Chain A
Amino acid sequence: MNLTTSIAEPEVLVRSSPLIEVCGLTFGYGDGRILDDISLAMEAEGVTAFIGPSGCGKSTLLRCLNRMNDLIDGAQLHAGTVRIGGRDIYQRGVDVISLRQRVGMIFQRSNPFPRSIYENIAFGLRLQGFRTKSALDERVERSLQRVALWDEVKDRLFARGTDLSLGQQQRLCIARAVAVEPEVLLMDEPCSALDPVATARIEELIHQLKNDFKIVIVTHNMQQAARVSDRTAFFYQGRLIEYNDTEQIFINPADPQTEAYVSGRFG
């Protein structure tokens, strides 16, 4: 896939309603079609969950929202558009680095940099132009406070990020993402490698962060989707089957396939 590498002005996402619009998206790897004619709009507020069986395309769609699929050989957008803040993110001239600062991502397996806790967060800030120690210190502390990690690490900021527990590492990754003040946070099964207590802490964090960021989460855990999300999209074999308020999806789904999936009778 062609990447736009020209240095452009940082992308400023214009707040619009809806914030994220996917229109007729057909996407795949090589000749295969992973996503088939997907259309959905996500408002600027709240948490949207993508659910569906393995291989249904939910992670692929998530990665389309900040063009992380560009890094995969053979990835190809066959049709459709993805607009964020009113701007088609696949059009020529889009600075994908800046896009990924504005649309941050947290992965299934925590991936702190092999650096200190402090540097994990300061790294992105320096790319944004933060230079002075005081500014960096302030932003690092604020980011760690936001993810409820500050009290646990304030006395060892220069310990390695990889020395933290898995749950702490994941919160560090979230802190790293929020430090650069994104507008959207994409979370790809952020709790699948965590124990129930660490999972609960991440969910509490999602509940707090949704006041400041649009969050889109892929999860295999339907109860998690029910707990944390405001809207839920159910995918099957690359197609969007149903997209509605989470309450409706879990109490009175419109589509029989959705009902079968959320009630565990799928397959």
Chain B
Amino acid sequence: MEEMKDLVLNYVINEYQEDEDEEITYDTPLISSGYVDSFSMVSLKVFLEKKFQIKIPDDKATPEAFDTVNKIVELVNEYTNK
């Protein structure tokens, strides 16, 4: 679980963080704070699906479900366990 969180966190930091001075943690709001906008969410969804070999239904890929690393991992676990 920790490994999955770190994987997702590192991806978010590498791909979406613009200001090096700001710290992104497992609980940092990503969508609601503007780090990842709604258009960029698609690339994050593609990353999760490819990395974890899952399919996330479009209606589950909501800004709320993607808003923090912790919530993302929760969602991923829901589909890796299926």
Please say whether chains A and B are actual partners in one complex: no
